[in-house]
Amino acid sequence: MKNVFNFKESFEKQKPYAELFETWLYQRENIVNVEKTKLDQEKQGIDYIITNKDNQTFNFQLKTDFRADKTGNILFEVISQAYKDRVSVIGAEFNMPSSDYIFYLLVPSGRLLCFQFRELLGYVIEHYDTFKNRAIDNDNNGIKYKTLCLLIPLAKIDHLVKSKNVILLDNIGID
């Protein structure tokens, strides 16, 4: 039987990792402010607004990936909510006009990979037909849809990584 992902459960599962990411951000010497965004900004692909010591601000998106350590691939959403009977919703990674960077936090290893968003998107578009794809069944309060994704091999985008770090995940009692 195929797994069906519940949006609310997935969101809750990611929360402690987002909190660790925020703590990690505050521990960076050059970061003076971390602002968690509101829903309207999240819809534009911005999870955090960071201000550095030079008073520059950057918009970030955080993706928590629970399978990349095992599969060697990150998911890149093409259609986040694909419906047969109504208008579908474009994937988050194709609808983030305001994000400067995207972080992928890989669980359970704690590896944290940072990409310049437009550079990663450009690479994915240029090589789109070389990637495998997946359809993931979802249920959000009884509304069923699929998320259509590309599987992006980490080995193929390693040259695009702007920074690699590790966040210790020992204090989280979930997998």
Per-residue model confidence as pLDDT tens digits over 47-61: 899 999 999 999 999
The Cβ of residue 18 has, within 10 Å, a number of other Cβ atoms equal to 16
Report the DSSP beta bridge partners of residue 128. none
- What tens digit of pLDDT does each residue of 104-134 get? 999 999 999 999 999 999 999 999 999 999 9
Q: For the chain, which ranges sit under pLDDT 70?
A: 1-2, 7, 42-44, 96-97, 171-175
- pTM of this structure: 0.88
Provide φ and ψ at 141, rounded to 5°: 55, 45
Domain boundaries, the chain: 4-166
In 3D, which of 91, 89, 118, 90 has the Cα closest to residue 102? 118
Least Cα distance to 43 among 99, 123, 1 occurs for 99
CATH 3.40.1350 for domain 4-166, yes or no, is yes
